[in-house]
Amino acid sequence: MFSSKEGFKAAFLDKLETMYGKSFKDSTPRDQYNTLGHMIREYISSRWIATNERNRTENHKQMYYLSIEFLLGRLLGSNLMNLGIWKMCEEGLQELGISLNELEENEADAGLGNGGLGRLAACFLDSLASLNLPGHGCGIRYKHGLFDQKIVNGYQVELPEQWLRHGNVWEVRRHDQAVEVSFWGNVETSKIDGKLEFHHRKAEVIMAVPYDIPVVGYDTETVNTLRLWNAEPVPFPPNNQNVLVYKRETEAVSEFLYPDDTHDEGKILRLKQQYFLVSASLQNIVKLHRERNGTLRNLHEKVAIHINDTHPVLAIPELMRILLDEEKLSWEEAWNITVNTVSYTNHTTLSEALEKWPVRIFQPLLPRIYMIVEEINERFCRDLWDKYPYDWKRIEDMAIIAHDLVKMAHLAIAGSHSVNGVAKIHTDILKKREMQLFHEYYPEKFNNKTNGITHRRWLLKANPQLASLITDTIGPGWIRKPTELQALASYKQDAAFREKFHGVKQLRKELLAKRIEEQTGVRVDTNSIFDVQVKRLHAYKRQLLNVLHIMHLYNRLKEDQSFTMHPRTFIFGAKASPGYYYAKKIIKLINEVAEKVNNDPQTRDRLKVVFLENYRVSLAEDIFPAADVSEQISTASKEASGTGNMKFMMNGAVTVGTLDGANIEIQEEAGTDNIFIFGLTAEEVLHYYQSGGYRSSDYYHHDKRIKKVVDQLINGFFPDGGDEFEAIYDSLIVQNDEYFVLRDFAPYVDVQDLVGKTYENRNRWLEMSISNVARSGYFTSDRTISQYAFDIWHINPVFARK
Ligand SMILES: *Cc1c(COP(=O)(O)O)cnc(C)c1O
């Protein structure tokens, strides 16, 4: 079917007719997209079966990656690319008058995630399959992914996302694998032969039905599985419940993704989702293991379960429940198996983002799980007492349940054998500060795994023009081994290469400029610097610092006719959590500044500001290749790693950033000459917090530039402003600027000035840009996944005959 162009064309036309009962000339682009999608799924089905067969018969250790989010984006293009049939399909379709790039636009993004954490899970799946590793994803099939964002009058408006509206060609419903998940009710304890037994009575039962999505590796036979669970009513509602109420409440469990990147929503439904994911996945994993091994006693030798942040941490008590109540193992043996099976990644040190569940919510919803967590806590505290007798404070601080709260991170650390941070500095902060007591008690559990991104989606697929230039220059080896991109470094002085490299960037800027004009009506100058900040909107990410700098540039242009600067286009993309008032005000502010500077005849040739609505994976794929400058300006110590920073680097954008998260490792790789670092260090920030020695009003009063832009937030500068930005003003002045925006303002202005001057030296800039691409290989998620596989999961490649 895909072995020759002619064969492909014939098969495509045939498939389209049988699927839709109409002829090609009457087909719509969506029919054509669906046809191609189905053909690919059929094409890979034999490899999918073979991968599962091999895993079963050869009994390889399997890894399951449990994540409440998978931000996949579109799958058609990456599947065609990984299967090595993109070009053939493109040519074949072209002969039928179809553009493959346009066909791709018919696929809705699978937006089952908020941002970095969910996208990381998606990159990991791609690397696992591409490295032939037996690793699978377990998640929730949300009916509505992250909301669609519209900008109306400068404000964010949220619309429900509907990715399943036209069906999903990639998924297969596996009703035969459905399992039941129990909530509420009570636990009956009885003693049988002197042994306690526990029975969950009067539970409300929900059916979890898996939908499987194949995960295709690059140029391999491996097809792993992403299993997404759908919540459905059981045929006969238990406890004589009202059928309609029961149905509605059941379906709500997999209805919406919680649209919050950092805080916990504090809703029962959220806890229900977490247990639903974990219980369905664990039951399924255990069943498969039992079929293959006949016992659960060697589970930890054949299964690794990874929890992506604390959202799936109930995997620990759920596995204990299965081993104790169903398998009837002793506590000690069950605990040993559980700890050795589970590993945990921490994603943040922001205290408001650490999950803590009130006992009054947890206990009634999950009565048996709560009993087990209590027992885990008691035994843990006893062990602490043995090591630190009479150190009440320490034991209280480390307890899993304290002050009527269940601390999910504490449970994750106690119940797993590995705890990792996601960048060097983040792991150091975990060890030395945030989780210091745990690190003292369990030093051997802590390790670092710096995040990565799949270079296949973010370079090969998103930027085919740059990928071709690289392959023409250094050969195709980098696709399998991205560290070979290093060979580009020797071409950075090569004038001919530099010009081609420049040509690719210009082409991508022109493509983005076209899209910007279509979407916003703003015409941007492709000779200007494309200065980009795209990521979730959050105070700690400091979009505000970027905006205040733009306001300052505007003020300079207005005040000083002799001031010159290289023209710049500031590009933003960001969704704010719907309940995050402050973040939404920042979006409005960006759009107000855009309105002002884009329309002022004195500034519009040199300054442009655009806000691209509905930032998501497919839009990101058009943005990164076009960026000159990558804005990574979080308050130092706050961004655990960042992965957007890596996508920019791989596409030749130069970073303007603080020494935070993976920016530090980007600097180490690219070299200090090829990055623009500014601002407070993490140590300085933490010192300020401890000493209380920061006064934002000092910076306001002593720097005229700051006073001017801050006053402009409230003095009528924005025609449509009113008291719109009072909350932002207050955050800076009244609430003493928690994120040090004013403290870092002057260094940021200086470094941005240097960016502009450096850009004017075209050769110097191209050298910097090329150096970044050349050193970006370290940030492939293949490296990250190899480290997880070797150090934590102990899984090995399953080599296939090809
Ligand atoms: C990479 C990515 C992110 C994460 O960006 P950060 O800058 O690391 O916060 C968020 N959303 C999308 C769509 C992405 O592709």
As a whole number of angstroms, the distance between CA 600 and CA 373 comes to 62
Question: Which protein residue's CA is at the shortest distance from atom 6 of ligand 1?
Answer: 644
Q: For ligand 1, say whether the CB of 666 is within 6 Å of any of its atoms.
A: no
Whether the Cβ atoms of residue 304 and residue 341 lie closer than 8 Å to each other: yes
Q: For ligand 1, say whether the CB of 642 is within 6 Å of any of its atoms.
A: yes
Largest distance between two CA atoms of the chain: 92
Q: For ligand 1, say whether the CB of 643 is within 6 Å of any of its atoms.
A: yes
H or E stretch at 32? helix 29-57
As a whole number of angstroms, the distance between CA 520 and CA 611 comes to 8
Whether the Cβ atoms of residue 168 and residue 145 lie closer than 8 Å to each other: no
Mean pLDDT of 454-478: 98
What one-letter code names the amino acid at 338?
Answer: T
Tokens of 594: 């855009």
Whether the Cβ atoms of residue 713 and residue 756 lie closer than 8 Å to each other: no
Catalytic residue among 136, 505, 509, 541: 541
Mean pLDDT of the chain: 97
Mean pLDDT of 724-735: 98
Q: Collect all residues with Cβ–Cβ distance below 8 Å to 387 and sequence separation of at least 6.
A: 441
The yes-or-no answer on residue 321 being catalytic is no
Tokens of 419: 């705890």
Whether the Cβ atoms of residue 507 and residue 469 lie closer than 8 Å to each other: no
The yes-or-no answer on residue 347 being catalytic is yes
What is the rounded radius of gyration, in angstroms, for the C-alpha atoms of the chain? 27
What pLDDT sits at residue 238? 72
What one-letter code names the amino acid at 70?
Answer: F
CA of 620 to the centre of ligand 1 (A): 8
The yes-or-no answer on residue 536 being catalytic is yes
What pLDDT sits at residue 467? 98
* Lowest-confidence segment of 202-206, 241-245, 278-282 by average pLDDT: 241-245
Mean pLDDT of 272-285: 98
pLDDT tens string 490-531: 999 999 999 999 999 999 999 999 999 999 999 999 999 999
Instruction: State the closest ligand 1 atom to the C-alpha of 541, by its place in the atom list counted from 1.
Output: 9
What pLDDT sits at residue 289? 98
Give the position of tokens 């998640």: 139
Chain-centroid distance, C-alpha 267: 22
Distances from the Cα of 188 to the Cα of 34, 241, 516, angstroms = 51, 21, 62
Chain-centroid distance, C-alpha 789: 20
| 107 pLDDT more than 70 | yes
Domains of the chain, earliest start first: 59-74+109-451+786-793 (3.40.50.2000), 516-776 (3.40.50.2000)
CA of 635 to the centre of ligand 1 (A): 17
- pLDDT: which is higher, 749 or 264: 749
What pLDDT sits at residue 746? 98
pLDDT tens string 760-769: 999 999 999 9
Nearest to 573 by CA among 506, 502, 647, 505: 647
Q: For ligand 1, say whether the CB of 535 is within 6 Å of any of its atoms.
A: yes
Tokens of 459: 């370079």
The yes-or-no answer on residue 541 being catalytic is yes
What pLDDT sits at residue 261? 72
What one-letter code names the amino acid at 244?
Answer: L
Question: Which protein residue's CA is at the shortest distance from atom 7 of ligand 1?
Answer: 644
Tokens of 544: 């505000």
Catalytic residue among 647, 655, 658, 775: 647
pTM of the model: 0.98
CA angle 465, 485, 462 (to 5 degrees): 30
Q: For ligand 1, say whether the CB of 649 is within 6 Å of any of its atoms.
A: no
| CB atoms inside a 10 Å sphere around CB 759 | 21
Whether the Cβ atoms of residue 121 and residue 112 lie closer than 8 Å to each other: no
As a whole number of angstroms, the distance between CA 666 and CA 644 comes to 12
Question: Which protein residue's CA is at the shortest distance from atom 10 of ligand 1?
Answer: 115
Q: For ligand 1, say whether the CB of 185 is within 6 Å of any of its atoms.
A: no
Q: For ligand 1, say whether the CB of 73 is within 6 Å of any of its atoms.
A: no
Question: Which protein residue's CA is at the shortest distance from atom 11 of ligand 1?
Answer: 115
Mean pLDDT of 619-638: 98
Mutate to test the pocket of ligand 1, among 114, 257, 533, 536 (most ligand atoms within 8 A of CB): 536
What pLDDT sits at residue 15? 96
Nearest to 781 by CA among 218, 73, 141, 50: 218
What pLDDT sits at residue 802? 52
pLDDT band at 801 (very low <50, low <70, confident <90, very high): low
What one-letter code names the amino acid at 116?
Answer: G
pLDDT band at 352 (very low <50, low <70, confident <90, very high): confident
Ranges of beta strands (E only) in 593-677 are 607-611, 629-632, 654-657, 676-677
What pLDDT sits at residue 353? 82
What pLDDT sits at residue 264? 74
What pLDDT sits at residue 351? 81
Whether the Cβ atoms of residue 208 and residue 185 lie closer than 8 Å to each other: no
As a whole number of angstroms, the distance between CA 490 and CA 770 comes to 10
H or E stretch at 552? helix 543-559
Q: For ligand 1, say whether the CB of 74 is within 6 Å of any of its atoms.
A: no
| 265 pLDDT more than 80 | no
CA of 643 to the centre of ligand 1 (A): 6
Mean pLDDT of 428-436: 97
User: What's the CA dihedral at 275, 279, 280, 281 to 10 degrees?
Assistant: 110
Distances from the Cα of 597 to the Cα of 572, 601, 718, 757, angstroms = 15, 8, 11, 21
Whether the Cβ atoms of residue 170 and residue 41 lie closer than 8 Å to each other: yes
